Structure 1
Amino acid sequence: MKLLSRGAALALAGFGLLQAPAQAQDIANGEMQFGRQCVACHVVRDPEGQVLAGRTARTGPNLHGLEGRVIGSVEGFRYGDALGELRARDVTWNEERFLGYVQDPTAWLRRTLDDRRARGKMAYRVRDPQDAADIYAYLRSLSGARAAAN
């Protein structure tokens, strides 16, 4: 069997034709990483106002119900132009977009919008891909657990 060149594999992966093996997500690690990497700027507050994670941080938007939400759509939060453009296009958060964004916000925005001048306000990067995936799983568990309780 012939091996694909790295460039061909990346191109196929970009079109969703070649999938990397999924790694198990660790919600407990996601909770710990959220506390280490995200809590200074973000909170997870449910619609009833209960803080599920974080404190009262307001630098970044509330991350409750992130999955499936239109990017840049938290009421009362002032987003940058690039995320505003994604909101105008009704692009929603999913795991792939979240992982790309949190690992390198500016690069992800530039690729997604095909605009080399696009910038995000979030300067922080989650450097470890597994930590990013675990944080996403943790956020999903908070939103899902709350929805299941209602």
Structure 2
Amino acid sequence: MYQGTLAAGMILALTAGMALAEGDAAKGEKVFRKCKACHMVGDGAENRVGPVLTGVVGREIAAVEGFDYSDALKELAAADGTWTPEELAAFLEKPKDFAKGTKMSFAGLRKEDERADVIAYLATFGGEGS
């Protein structure tokens, strides 16, 4: 029983990872328009209602200096959380379910391909000043 559950979990994780790897950054730039009211990315980006997203892929959760994160995201960060593509996908699908108490009011991106695309787009922006 345990081996079957483990195998199913591994297949699900690999499938999710493959879907994220297949994201289209050009399409993601268009999807990111939904995020621009609250977030900036790229050279000269500054915190708005939401934190700067430059370098978010692979960054520690709640790590942008000068941004006042919700307790929910601070708790995730304290649990050694990192914004992996998989974590970002789960958060972007339904933020309030992923981090109960988050300040992010966005309902989420329901389509898996849109999440993969926006993550691919965000991945094109490395660390600060990229």
Structure 1 residue 44 corresponds to structure 2 residue 41: yes
Structure 1 residue 12 corresponds to structure 2 residue 11: no
Larger radius of gyration: 1
Q: Percent identity?
A: 38
Instruction: Judge conservation of contact 1:29–1:134 (CA < 8 Å) in 2.
Output: yes
What amino acid is aligned across from residue 93 of structure 1 in structure 2? W
Q: Map 1:1-150; keep pairs closer than 5 Å.
A: 12-13=8-9, 17-18=10-11, 19-20=14-15, 22-23=18-19, 24-35=22-33, 37-46=34-43, 50-51=44-45, 58-109=48-99, 118-124=100-106, 125-143=108-126
Which structure has the highest strand share of the two?
Answer: 1
Distance (whole Å) between structure 1 residues aligned to residue 83 and residue 39 of structure 2: 16
Instruction: Judge conservation of contact 1:39–1:57 (CA < 8 Å) in 2.
Output: no
Instruction: Judge conservation of contact 1:69–1:93 (CA < 8 Å) in 2.
Output: yes
Distance (whole Å) between structure 2 residues aligned to residue 128 and residue 28 of structure 1: 16
Q: Hey, what does 1:5 align to over in structure 2?
A: none
Unaligned runs of 5+ in 2: none
Residues 126, 9 of structure 1: alpha-carbon distance in 2 compared, 3 angstrom cutoff: farther
1:90-149 C-alpha deviation (Å, 9 max, x unpaired): 21110000000011012122xxxxxxxx321112111211111100000101227x76xx
* Relative contact order higher in (CA < 8 Å, ≥ 6 apart): 2
Work out the number of aligned pairs and report it.
120
